[in-house]
Structure formats: C-alpha cells, structure tokens
Structure 1
Amino acid sequence: MQTYSRRTLIRTLCVGALLGTAIAPMPTWAEPKFQDPLDLPAQMRNGISTRPMLSVARAGDALVAVGSRGLIMRSADQGKTWTQSAVPVQSDLLAVHFPNPSDGWAVGHDGVILHTSDGGKSWTKQLDGRIASGVFKQYYGAGAADPATQAAASQIERNFKAGPTLPWLDVWFDDADRGFVVGSFGMIAATVDGGKTWEPWLHRIDNEKGLNLNAVRGLGGNLYIVGEHGMVYQLDRANRRFRKTATGYAGSFFGIVGNANSLLAFGLRGVVYRSDDGGSRWEALKMPADATVTSGAVNGDAGNFVLVNSAGQFLIGDRDGRSFKVVHAASPMRYTGLALINHTAAVVTGLDGARTEMLSGTGQ
C-alpha cells in the first residue's frame, strides 16, 4: 500500500502544476474541506453555562452572555438557569451590549456584527469581514483625496490584506439607532440606522498609528474609547471626531467605567487610571492587586465601583474611585465580563462559563 507524507503530496502538486504533467490521484486521507465559521450556525450544546464565555450584559431584567464558537445564552432568572440562543455563525464572540431590553448587538471575530430584536433569544447577522472588506474599501475609494481619507484607505487595505478575519472587540449603542464598534488595528465603524448600514470611521479618530481600540462606552453623556499605549479617545459630537488624550500609561487599557465623580480606565497588570474632569487629566491609582482588570461596572444603588480581574478577584472601590479592596469570589475563575444584578450580587463570565457571585463590602 502506497503512503504519502504531507510534504511529498504538496511537492507533487506543485511540480505537476509547473510542468503540466499528470498528477497522481489524491490519497483518501486528504484533509477535510475548510468550512468558514461565517457560514455555519452555532451548534446547540449541553452544559452551556460551563463553556468559555467572554462578555455579559443586561437586557432589561434578563442577562445575555456571549462566548466561543458563536455561543450566546440568555437567563431570565438572574443567572440561575441559561438557555442557548439561535445564532447564524460559529465565530467567537467577544462583546455584547443592549441599549434597551429588546435591541442588542454582539460582535467578535471575522468582523461579525449580530443583532437581536427580541432580547437575545434569536440573532441575525448584519455585517462580517467579507462584506466589510468590499464596503469599506469602496467607501474610501469614493472619498475625497484629503490626507485623512488617504491614510484611512491605506489602513483598510492593510487590515484586510490577510482576509476578513480581524475581530471587533467591543460595541456600544446610545439608542436603538446610533452605535459604534471598535477593534484591532484601529478598526472603527458607526451606524445611525440600527446597523442596517455601517460607515467606517478610521478618518474620524486621532489614531494615526492604527492602534488597537479595545473598548467603547457611553458615560455621563460622553462617548469614550480606550486602547493601546494608554490612549483614551473622546467623541467631539459637534465635529464627529474622536480626540485623543494620552494618560501617561504605556500599556493597554481594556475598559473604561465611570460615575458622576470619576472615570476609571483599566487594563494590563492591574493598572487603573482615574480622571475627575471628564477625561482631560489622568492619574495612576495604587491598586491592591496586579492581575489584569478585564471588566467593570458602577453599583447603581451604592454608586461605587466594582471591577473584576483575570485572577478571579473582585476589586470593590468607593464612590470617588480612589480606594479599592479585594473581595474574593466563592468560585473564582479567569473573569472576562461582569454585569451587576443588584448591590449584593453579580453575574460574571470567564473561561469556565457564567456564574452568579455574591458581593460583600460594596456599600462603601
């Protein structure tokens, strides 16, 4: 029986193509045909609450969590039980947001943007990297030849050179119509019609180096983006442009949270920077833990800050966001997302699924 090595097979195919000679039949153990996760619906699975989950959000009284291979699940009983939703892709999903109880958006790898209009029970695809590649290139190709547009056009060409695989890392909607998505290598897009159409905004942000944009949040009537090199960008709504502010931090911020008193930008190695003037000036805080801070929220009842990190810890702060203490979880894991149920409980996501954790010491 004749056997083939992978190197021999590739060599045979290449030589045959170059010389125009006949090629021996493919062996029966040839690798299966690649199936694009954009073309496959998420598989319905058992034990969904213990599978890797990467973000969670409130949808009115419900909770919706997203994770690997297109998994989206919904809880109507504050995280006690979860039901898997129908999802049209198997791409990994990284973030989810609901501006109201019905309308929500989830984003992730392969440039996927999903929408729900029934509170997360079912989802449809609005955009993916294959579609965006053509739409965004056409948008900048038809634009004026000003320097900002030219730079954005070049960035789009570089970003899609390897294919439509770049992920959207976060999503935020002001209401059911107006929203933003941000992602790797400076990718950013906006919609004003609920996601029916998306406009690239690479020419509308002070991000000349194409740094990663890791998170976007609306806080106190303002809109902020955080990313690499300690950058914070704030939307100038009048001029439709995100203006940058350097915080002095050289690493990456993965999120931003705020209340009426303070803004907190957080990220690698437990770093947290604080601003009390809406983001113009920033100061580094002394934190009680050095694990990467992955998500945060403001306790609506107590008004204080709650952060979680990759070591499975809660960091409970005061209302001013100046002082924090560590609260250990009952079942710690590498936390990726956080949604507060009330002032005493939260649902957290992580590499081991989704769990409800009771908080202590949050009423500072």
Structure 2
Amino acid sequence: MIKTLVASIALCAATAAFAQAPAEGTVATWAAKPAHAWGAPTHMMLLDATRAGRRIVAVGEHGIVLLSDDEGKTYRQARSVPVSATLSAVTFTDDKHGWVVGQWGVILATNDGGETWQKQRMDTAVDQPLFSVHFMNDHDGIAVGLWSLMLQTHDGGKTWAKVTLPKPPGGGKADRNLYHVFADQKAALYISAEQGTVLKSTDGGVNWDYLATGGKGSLWSGVATPDGRIVVGGLLGSLFQSSDGGATWSPLKAETKSSITNLVAAGKGLLAVGLDGLVMQQRADGAPFDVAQRPDRAALTAAVIDAGGKPILFSNDGVLTGL
C-alpha cells in the first residue's frame, strides 16, 4: 500500500497516513533497523537521485541507496545504511559529503560519497516525514516535510533545530506540506509547497515569505535554471515560471495533465518527469515543450542528466532504460 501511495503522489503525505495504521509501533521498529542487502536493488522503488561528483546516487524504499560510477550503466547498493525507512530525497555538496531524508523524519549523512551512512536524526514517536533536503555548504543545511516541518543545521547536521514558519497570508496555521527546497544562483532559497505556493528566503532560511504562483494545486518540485529562471511544477501538469526571483509568475503550457514529480536543469533548457510515464523537455527559455509518455506509463520520480546530455530515469519500479 505505501509503495503505491508514495509513487502515485510523489513524496506527499502518504507516509503520514501509513504511520497511523494499527501496526504503527511495529512499522517504526522495523524502519529503525539497518537496511537489507537486496538481490535486485535496481528494481526497488526509487524516489530521488543526484550526483556526488561523477557518481550517481539514488535513494528509495526500505532504506535503499544505489551508487553508479559508470553513468548509470551499472549500480550497486551502499555498503551501510542504518535505517530501513523510506528515503525520499538526497543531496551532495561535493563528491564526498551528502545527506538523505525520509520517513520518520530521518536524516542520514555520508562523508565517503555514499558508501556508508550515519544517522543524524530519527523520530519514531510520530511519522512526520521529510520530503527534501538542501545544503548551502558543508555546514548550513535545511530539510522540509509534512505539515510545514522545517529543520535547520549550522554544524553539518550534528544538531538539527525546528523552525517555526510564519502564518500564510490570509490567516490559518503554518501547516502546508513543504515538498522541495532548492537555491538559485544568488543563494536565495525556495520551497515548492501546497496550494500553488512557493516560500522564499533571502537570508539563508532565517525569514520566509509566501509567494503565490497563481496555481491552486500542490507543487512537488522546483529548479533554478542557469539563465536565472525559477520553475516549479506539480499536480496535473501545473508548471509556473518566474524570471524575477518569484516576484511574478506565469504559467507554462505543458500540454499534459500528468502530474510533474521532478524538474531538472538541462543545459539551457529544462527536463520534467512525472506520473503516467511523462517526460518533457524544453530546449531553451521560451521554446515549446517536447512532451512524451513512455509506453509502460511508469510513475517517474527523478532524473539525472548523463555525460552525453541524456536523461537517466528513476521510478516506483526502479531504474529505467531509454525514454
């Protein structure tokens, strides 16, 4: 059940619903155990992927961490991962130092390129999952998740402190799900969130403003492109772009109703992947999107651009080949 839910809504509140099941104590105990060595790890559900230098690192269900040193041709499982919780996001600041986050608010760190991981945080009292993590440098990082959960560190993750966000415009509680945190070239931080909202900080995460894109649905991903654009996307193919740091937004015609789960800067353009096998590519700002759907209609969750400029795709069924 959890596999289907997580894949279908791409890192949203499914893990929290799962945590409220009658077997909550059993699930938490299992999630805190070291990850198992799987016989076919490339067929496990994968939720995020990135680069650690030239290495590709992908993470997913049951605490799985996959490593590839040959541009995605072959993968092997990390030697040591201290949890079996679902891992939803991964980031690296260089080829050695990285962090992953996931179910039960878990945060893991590595200093050897993902070969071995150490637990920095986990709260099995409540499954308030973390959906995304970003580090500005080796010391300053931020992780975000369910119900406006935000954690910050200034010592490389040795300690993590909760941050209370301001109430959104129009009143109500600061309880929106925060899906993806990223930075632009000017070091401003952005978080794609629920209800068509993007949060922005220009002081390293001390203060946050709510930005309205004009959309109403959840925004599951976002990216800052080298040419200065901020692009966010999510539910039912919604896609919005800002060329002025989020002050104003305009919708992009995606020509799809399939939900977007991951956005990646690709050269001068943009790559988007999503549910129903969705793969969209924009060659440059202002260019139309080339929209394709894989015949297998796989629930795509992440993409990494290989050395030849082609996308490597990840999904709820693991690593995929071809477009």
Please tell me the TM-score bracket, short chain as reference: 0.7 to 0.9
Q: Residue 226 of structure 1 aligns with which residue?
A: 192
Contact preservation (8 Å) 1:178, 1:194: yes
Residue 142 of structure 2, aligned match among 180, 192, 202: 180
Rg larger for? 1
Residue 295 of structure 1, aligned match among 251, 262, 270: 262
Q: Residue 91 of structure 1 aligns with which residue?
A: 85
Contact preservation (8 Å) 1:299, 1:342: no
Structure 1 pair 342/171, CA: closer, same or farther in 2 (3 Å)? same
Alpha-carbon offset, residue 355 of structure 1: 2.7
Tell me how far apart the structure 2 counterparts of residues 332 and 342 of structure 1 sit (CA, whole Å): 26
Alpha-carbon offset, residue 339 of structure 1: 1.1
The number of residues matched between the two structures is: 293
Secondary structure in structure 1 of the residue aligned to 2:26:
coil
- Tell me whether 1:65 sits opposite 2:58 in the alignment: yes
Alpha-carbon offset, residue 240 of structure 1: 1.8
Counterparts of 1:117-196 in structure 2, within 5 Å, are 117-130=111-124, 163-196=125-158
- Tell me whether 1:254 sits opposite 2:220 in the alignment: yes
Name the amino acid aligned to 1:313. Answer: L
Structure 1 pair 164/238, CA: closer, same or farther in 2 (3 Å)? closer
Q: Per-residue CA shift, 1:17-58, capped at 9, x if unaligned?
A: xxxxxxxxxxxxxx9x93613431111111111111111111
Question: Structure 2-normalised TM-score?
Answer: 0.85
Report the aligned-residue RMSD.
2.1
What is the aligned-residue identity percentage? 30
Structure 1 pair 81/199, CA: closer, same or farther in 2 (3 Å)? same
Contact preservation (8 Å) 1:56, 1:65: yes
Structure 1 pair 216/321, CA: closer, same or farther in 2 (3 Å)? farther
Contiguous gaps of at least 5 residues in structure 2: 1-22
Tell me how far apart the structure 1 counterparts of residues 43 and 145 of structure 2 sit (CA, whole Å): 27
Contiguous gaps of at least 5 residues in structure 1: 1-30, 131-162, 359-364
Contact preservation (8 Å) 1:205, 1:243: no
Moved more, 229-238 or 205-214: 205-214
Name the amino acid aligned to 1:171. Answer: V
Tell me how far apart the structure 1 counterparts of residues 309 and 204 of structure 2 sit (CA, whole Å): 40
Q: Residue 149 of structure 1 aligns with which residue?
A: none
Moved more, 319-328 or 77-86: 319-328
Moved more, 224-233 or 332-341: 332-341
Alpha-carbon offset, residue 124 of structure 1: 0.8
Contact preservation (8 Å) 2:148, 2:165: no
Q: Residue 103 of structure 2 aligns with which residue?
A: 109
Tell me how far apart the structure 1 counterparts of residues 193 and 319 of structure 2 sit (CA, whole Å): 26
Structure 1 pair 122/276, CA: closer, same or farther in 2 (3 Å)? same
Secondary structure in structure 2 of the residue aligned to 1:34:
helix
